[in-house]
Amino acid sequence: MNRETLLWVIVLLIGAALLAGRAMFAENGMGKAYITPVEKTYVGLDADVAEAAEAEAETKTVWVSIDELPEDFDVDAVADDDVVSWDTYETKDYAAYIAAQNAGTNDVVFSLSHTIGIWIAALLTLFVLSFLIKDNPLYKVAESMFIGISAAYWMVVGFWDTIVPNLFAKLAPGPTTAWALPGIRDEAQFELIYIVPLIFSILLLMRLAPKAGWLSRWPMAFFIGTFCGFRLISFLHGDFLAQIRNTIVSLYAKTPQFAADGTAMLNEAGAPIMDFTFWGSVQNLILVIGVLACLVYFFFSFEHKGVVGGTARLGIWFLMVTFGAAFAYTVMGRIALLAIRIEFLFDDWLWLIDPTGRRAVEAVGMIVLAPLGMA
Amino acid sequence: MKRTIPLLLASIAGFIMIVAYFSPHTESWGEEVAVWFNILAAVAFILGGGNLLKIHLRKVSDRNSGWMYSVITVVSFLVMLFLGLWKFGVNPNPQFPDYGHWAGEYNDSTSPFYWLYEYTFKPLQATIFAMLAFYVASAAFRAFRAKNFEALLLLATAFVVLLGRTAAGVFLTDFIPADGPFAALRLEEMTQYLMNIFNTAGNRAIMIGIALGTASVSLKILLGVDRSYIGSGDD
Amino acid sequence: MFEYFRNLDRRWIFLLMLLSVAVPIYVIGKTKETFPETALPLATNVFNEIEALQPGEKVLLAFDYDPGSEGELGPMATAFTYHCSSRGLKLYFMALWPLGRQMIDDNIAKVIEPDFPDMVYGEDYVNLGFKAGNEGVIKVIVTDIKQFYTTDARGTNIEQIPMMEGIKSIQQMDLMLNVSAGYPGTKEWVQYAVTPYPKEIKLVGGCTGVQAPLLYPYIPQQLPGLLAAIKGASEYESLVIKAYPPAEGKEAKYMEAQRRMGPQLVAHVLMVLLIVAGNIIFFIERKRGARA
Amino acid sequence: MNVLKRNLVTVLAAVLLSLTVPVAAQDEAETPGSADGAVPSPPSNVTAEDVPWDKGDGAKLTWDAPAEAEGLRYRIEKKELAEDGGEAEWKFVDLVTDEQTTFTAKELDHTRQYLFRVQSMAEDGTLSQPAVLPSAFQSERQLFFGSRLYLLIIVLVFCGSVVYWIRHARSGKEIKVRQIAGLEAVDEAVGRATEMGRPCLFVPGIQDINEIQTIAGITILSRVAKTAAEYDAKVEVPTARSLVMTTARETVQAAYLSAGRPEAYNQDLIYYVTDEQFGYVAYLQGMMVREKPAACFYMGAFYAESLILAETGNGIGAIQIAGTAMPAQLPFFVAACDYTLIGEEFFAASAYLSGSPEELGSLKGQDVGKVIVAIGLIIGVLMFTFGNIFGAGTPIGAWLLMAVNYLKNVILT
């Protein structure tokens, strides 16, 4: 074990000891989660009983939450098939837990799974931040896990949000709605055209076949072609024309005149009185010169020499000002992101601070540990 | 054959899209094809995911350095995939409880899939994003140096805008009357002018250039001038 | 010494950044003390517009944002609600964003229900809820509110709500407050409500940092006051808290923006100092290079 | 608490309301005149005609103003006729405030029939009796978008000039283009990586292949890979999309083939990581610190991750060349990379790198596009300026302002 590794191990051990100390000896502890378990029960009723307003006469099962039925409703009288229950929960704050305890109720209970969750989230946050010091095994753990989980997450999203509703439900509406999408069972219809993406998908998967891999180029070529055509036209229509249109401004700028009370001054015809504004004109002039100079910079046909070179140089200056301003403008938002992470660590996990009073039952924490626990 | 058909397919499809844009009857074809593309992209997960598994499993079987991390990736990938695709532990849809868990939401808040999302995916995502705060700081220290006139402009504008967005900057130029002729020199006003005039001008030119560049690249592909995306001729 | 700074390990910069964010969060969270805030004219104008109203006058609060921008806009929405309630105004809430309705309910639950228990729903405040249609809704309700709002968010017929009696259009409101995260938002309110009815409708608002530059052109004629991002909210908050100190133990929830300004300010100053330091190093280096 | 009772009340209230509201609305509209003011006279002679060359969603309404029209506004409502001929309710469309007596209604369905009616509105909001369109109106969908005629011309001019210059180049005439700083560095960077025995990293952005920036990035990859094949350097391409991986493999394989070294191609160097933006970045920054690539190329569509990549690359001392058309990310690349291809330069890069006359010809075509912009811009600005100087009161000023209006709102929309 070399010196550096030793140092790391010591730092980690100290950190863990401090955490354990805080978790055990601080009055309220830290990083605990509380929930209120909720049982949901739904009862299947014939439509005409449940909703008088429903015009359809045929008996259709409508599921109603037991909370919405009258108190004297006899659940036992309903066939077992028509009563479905499951458990869910609401998250609660520590203050609510203490309040419930003081009131002698069991409404709010400690949740092990959510507590573990907060701890894991906090540790992963620290693992990632540790990369800023040096690449290390903890970061590698977080990174490997992130890759696996996120790749699977987006596949699951792609399956349930794209393939099922946009492919399965179009080509096999019956089975799909009977299986996973009852919400659209009345309107789902077979759409033959979706055979095209199906065929393309099969061609794409031909990559996996050793001899027919070249077939996968067909769908790729089709989509690259369509998007090229589509983007060609939409960029020329959208960005290109819009930017030119917005830059056609008057170098002799006028603004409406306002009276002392802030209302617009009108002439006899009822139109607002416009007057020349020097600064407005200068602004417009700079804007137009800037756009033209930057365009010259982008010119490919001429070397940047002579007049062209001078103008192109002006263009670069404009671009540099643009970039400097945009960089600084974005900084504030980036800092907020870090602040939110640190608030999570201090507030949700370490219970060091309690700005919003979520644990507003007098607490004496071990304040000194804070910076060290972060290491 | 292996190159000609794809090239033709791309050209024909592309030019049809251009023509379609000009008729009210066919205008929406672009959106339709976008739906198809999303399907293809979702199906392509099989290729990407398969490749991911292959690479990491090979690292494990070869006992490459760091193979333990590949085990973590593979396990977390497979667990998350199974939980999500199976809708494991998902509560039924309140409107259709008789359909069982299959009609529920895959990210239902009681499911383990949600738990993993909430307590691993989200904090990791947010923390990587938050690392930007550190990198803007180191970039500010390192890159904003007045090496030449261009760099000076970059630096000076960044400086003015940064100051103009804090109370300190406002305080620095507070002596300039807000309604006097030199009001524009107040830092918060300067920030506004920099953003409204220079930033707008620069961005407009960039956008015009981008539109022309996009159109030109697209056209080259449709004309078959640029065919590097299609791969080699004779495999 | 110079050599050390010239080749400064960037991890020191990382540490400075961490401290400049973490320390303010910790200190502010612990002491509940925030940085002193001086309100700039735009925020003061917002405050004064509300102050100018007499108790019992009507104010429309349009909350056009969603949880995505809660961090930036939530504090100002809370401060608006608190200020108007403290002032004894009649509050009409509405939203053009689908999730805005939720934001309204959150603010009612956070401010009015615990701290103003005397206010009665339907008499002192009402949640008209969300209506789809973006600027189309604005165009209509400036002349005829009942065409869109036949019930409030709770499903009560609008005819049965005492404070809606005699309200034909939003021109009858004495002031409009808008919290805006994008489209539709303050810009649309200015274009479709204030511009056609400059005398009847008075609008002030708050918006995200990204949006603020787009709204400056409307100041001050069509938009006398504007709270830009968390900075504006923090200035306004300080004014409100000073004029209407909350009850003992309840200050914390009305100082959210001021708390969030702490790390922002320190980190910003750090960035400025870093740029300065980088250039000092660069100039010394160049001088030495020239000499050698 | 008796929840059912409360719900029933709500349901009943809603049902009752749905019955009463349209009636009430109609009542209100047809019994004009509130207590506060004289009732204005209604407009007359309402007509509707189809808007030509549109997608069938517009109707142009005209009406005659009443005798005393001063200060009047007009409130327009529409009613969609049900397929079975039943009556629907009147819906508010818009309020015409500028004393015009025409209005173009939009967002109609060309398969349905509509009625329109117009009411005068006094300054205090008092409404007149409505004037109703005598017969139902149905809009027509035409074959061509008239409003896109100028767009068609612009597209033809642009594409024509690109095609012209490509043909010009094919005929063997020399094409001259200026140098772009970042591009000479590409060979140099690959060369340096070879010398140091370290890999090159190529990041094609985080968007899928339906984004032109990704395609442009892939074409640059093809040149980088060819250079690398010649130098015998290793190029590693992690991707955030499965389809980008597929396409990049085809491209790189072809590049190795054309460099004459097909056997050196290793498809495992082009691999998929994850679709998640920050998962991909987490992988990249870790990988960069561990493998220390000597040259990093960021070519494609980037978002917030741009600075994470560029700062990490800087930390390991790599040569970094970035190219993107994301205006918001350009500042970060410019600040932290050695060379940045800004917007259009990025799209032009593959033409430069290939050096083929055809591709260089297309750049000339792009320049023609910029000349058109500059001319249009200067003419427009001058007309607008002089129009304002002369003022709308003079005939020439009015004509200039009208021309600017036409240029902005008809040609350039």
pLDDT over 70 (residue D85) = no
| Closest Cβ–Cβ partner in D14, D158, D370 for A295 | D370
**Do residues D168 and D182 both lie within one domain?**
no
**Do residues D91 and D203 both lie within one domain?**
no
- Substitution target from B141, B157, B195, B198 for chain C, most C beta carbons within 10 A: B141
Task: For strands C203-207 and C175-180, give the pairing.
Answer: parallel
Is there a contact between D74 and D48 (Cβ–Cβ < 8 Å)? Answer: no
CA-to-CA dists, residue B110 to A40, A85, B118, angstroms: 12, 14, 11
d(CA D389, CA D409) in angstroms, rounded, equals 21
pLDDT over 60 (residue D275) = yes
d(CA B3, CA C153) in angstroms, rounded, equals 61
| Closest Cβ–Cβ partner in A135, A142, A216 for D290 | A135
With H, G, I as helix, E, B as strand and everything else as coil, classify residue A88: strand
Q: What is the pLDDT of residue B177?
A: 76
Domain count, chain C: 2
Is the Cα torsion angle A341, A342, A348, A354 positive or negative in sign?
negative
- Substitution target from A300, A316, A329, A330 for chain D, most D beta carbons within 10 A: A300
Please name the residues between 193 and 222 in chain A that touch chain B, using a CB distance below 8 Å: 194, 196-197, 200-201, 204-205, 207-208, 213-214, 217-222
- Please tell me the distance in Å from B197's CA to the nearest CA on chain D: 16
CB contact under 8 A, B154 and A221: no
Amino acid residing at B158: A
Residue B55: CB atoms within 10 Å: 17
Residues of A in contact with D212 (CB under 8 A): 227-228, 231
Task: Supply the DSSP symbol for B226.
Answer: -
B157 touches chain D (CB under 8 A): no
d(CA A326, CA A319) in angstroms, rounded, equals 10
Please name the residues between 22 and 41 in chain B that touch chain D, using a CB distance below 8 Å: 22-25, 27, 34, 37, 40-41
Beta strands in D215-268 (DSSP E): 235-239
Residue C62: CB atoms within 10 Å: 29
- Please tell me the distance in Å from A316's CA to the nearest CA on chain C: 22
pLDDT over 50 (residue D16) = no
Question: What are residue D132's DSSP bridge partners?
Answer: D117
CB contact under 8 A, C282 and B147: yes
**pLDDT tens, residue order, chain B (235 aa):** 678 899 999 999 999 999 999 998 888 888 889 899 999 999 999 999 999 999 999 999 999 889 999 999 999 999 999 999 999 999 998 888 888 889 988 988 899 999 999 999 999 999 999 999 999 999 999 888 888 999 999 999 999 888 877 766 777 777 777 666 777 777 877 887 888 789 889 999 999 999 999 999 999 999 999 888 887 655 4
Is there a contact between D127 and D121 (Cβ–Cβ < 8 Å)? Answer: yes
CB contact under 8 A, C139 and D25: no
Residue D1 lies inside a defined structural domain of this protein: no
d(CA A96, CA A100) in angstroms, rounded, equals 6
Tally of CA atoms within 13 A in the half-sphere of A39 that contains its CB: 6
CB contact under 8 A, A339 and C253: no
Average of per-residue pLDDT across A210-235: 91
- Host domain of residue C287: 2-32+260-291
Q: Which chains touch D (3 or more CB pairs under 8 A)?
A: A, B, C
**Do residues D275 and D380 both lie within one domain?**
no
Instruction: Mention every residue, 6+ apart, whose C-beta is less than 8 A from residue C250.
Output: C114, C115
CB contact under 8 A, B6 and A217: yes
> What average pLDDT does the structure give for chain D?
86
Is there a contact between D235 and D271 (Cβ–Cβ < 8 Å)? Answer: no
Give ∠ CA C223-C226-C230 in degrees, rounded to 5.
165
Is there a contact between D199 and D234 (Cβ–Cβ < 8 Å)? Answer: yes
Residues of D in contact with C144 (CB under 8 A): 92
CB contact under 8 A, C139 and D13: no
| Token pair belonging to C283 | 């100039």
d(CA A349, CA A327) in angstroms, rounded, equals 33
pLDDT over 60 (residue A48) = no
**Do residues D213 and D327 both lie within one domain?**
yes
Is there a contact between C85 and C50 (Cβ–Cβ < 8 Å)? Answer: no
Residues of C in contact with A355 (CB under 8 A): 28-29, 32, 252, 256, 259
| Closest Cβ–Cβ partner in A335, A353, A357 for C263 | A335
| Closest Cβ–Cβ partner in A86, A113, A286 for B91 | A86
- Please tell me the distance in Å from A248's CA to the nearest CA on chain D: 5
- Substitution target from A248, A281, A287, A291 for chain D, most D beta carbons within 10 A: A248
Q: What per-residue string of b and e applies to A76-95 under the rule 16 or more CB within 10 Å gives b?
A: eeeeeebbbebeebeebbbb
Is there a contact between B112 and A187 (Cβ–Cβ < 8 Å)? Answer: no
Give me the percent of chain C exceeding a pLDDT of 70: 98
Average of per-residue pLDDT across C129-152: 84
Residues of D in contact with A336 (CB under 8 A): none
B13 touches chain D (CB under 8 A): no
- Which of C22, A124, A33 has its CA nearest to residue B123? A124
Residues of C in contact with D315 (CB under 8 A): 10
Q: Which chains touch C (3 or more CB pairs under 8 A)?
A: A, B, D
Residues of B in contact with C18 (CB under 8 A): 134
CA-to-CA dists, residue A203 to A211, A222, B35, B43, angstroms: 12, 12, 17, 11
Residue D197 lies inside a defined structural domain of this protein: yes
Q: D326-357: per-residue pLDDT in tens? A: 888 999 999 999 999 999 999 999 889 888 88
Domain ranges of chain B: 133-230
- Which of C85, A321, A71 has its CA nearest to residue B206? A321
- Host domain of residue D392: 146-174+376-413
Residue D29 lies inside a defined structural domain of this protein: no
Residue A365 pLDDT level (bands cut at 50, 70, 90): very low
Average of per-residue pLDDT across A236-247: 89
pLDDT over 80 (residue A19) = yes
**CATH code of residue D57:** 2.60.40.10
Name which residue leads in pLDDT, D143 or D95.
Answer: D143
| Closest Cβ–Cβ partner in B220, B225, B232 for D253 | B232
Amino acid residing at C146: K
Q: CA-based Rg of chain C, rounded to a whole angstrom? A: 23
Residue A272 pLDDT level (bands cut at 50, 70, 90): low
C143 touches chain D (CB under 8 A): yes
| Closest Cβ–Cβ partner in B147, B159, B170 for C275 | B159
Task: For strands A34-46 and D319-324, give the pairing.
Answer: unpaired
Rounded to the nearest 10°, the torsion over CA D51, D52, D56, D61 is: 10
Residue D30 lies inside a defined structural domain of this protein: no
Q: How many residues does chain B have?
A: 235
Q: Which chains touch A (3 or more CB pairs under 8 A)?
A: B, C, D
| Token pair belonging to D407 | 């240029």
Average of per-residue pLDDT across D223-230: 94
Q: Using omega within 30 degrees of 0 as the cis cutoff, is the peptide bond preceding C220 cis?
A: yes
pLDDT over 50 (residue C100) = yes
Q: How far is CA B229 from the centre of its chain?
A: 21
Residue D71 pLDDT level (bands cut at 50, 70, 90): confident
Q: What is the pLDDT of residue B235?
A: 43
pLDDT over 60 (residue A52) = no
**Do residues D163 and D76 both lie within one domain?**
no
D155 touches chain A (CB under 8 A): yes
**CATH code of residue C188:** 3.40.50
d(CA D37, CA A105) in angstroms, rounded, equals 64
**Do residues D284 and D396 both lie within one domain?**
no
Task: Supply the DSSP symbol for B27.
Answer: T
CB contact under 8 A, B139 and D330: no
B123 touches chain D (CB under 8 A): no
CA-to-CA dists, residue D4 to A56, A78, D82, D113, D175, angstroms: 21, 18, 36, 42, 82
Residues of B in contact with A290 (CB under 8 A): 197-198, 201-202, 205
Q: C199-217: per-residue pLDDT in tens? A: 789 999 999 876 776 677 6
Q: CA-based Rg of chain B, rounded to a whole angstrom? A: 28
CB contact under 8 A, A283 and B195: no
Task: Supply the DSSP symbol for A160.
Answer: I
pLDDT over 50 (residue A375) = no
CB contact under 8 A, A262 and C224: yes
Rounded to the nearest 10°, the torsion over CA D127, D131, D137, D139 is: -50
Q: What is the pLDDT of residue A257?
A: 67
How large is the greatest C-alpha to C-alpha distance in chain D, in angstroms? 92
**Do residues C77 and C176 both lie within one domain?**
yes
- Which of B140, A329, D332 has its CA nearest to residue C274? B140
D153 touches chain A (CB under 8 A): no
Domain count, chain D: 3
Give me the percent of chain D exceeding a pLDDT of 70: 90
CB contact under 8 A, A230 and B21: yes
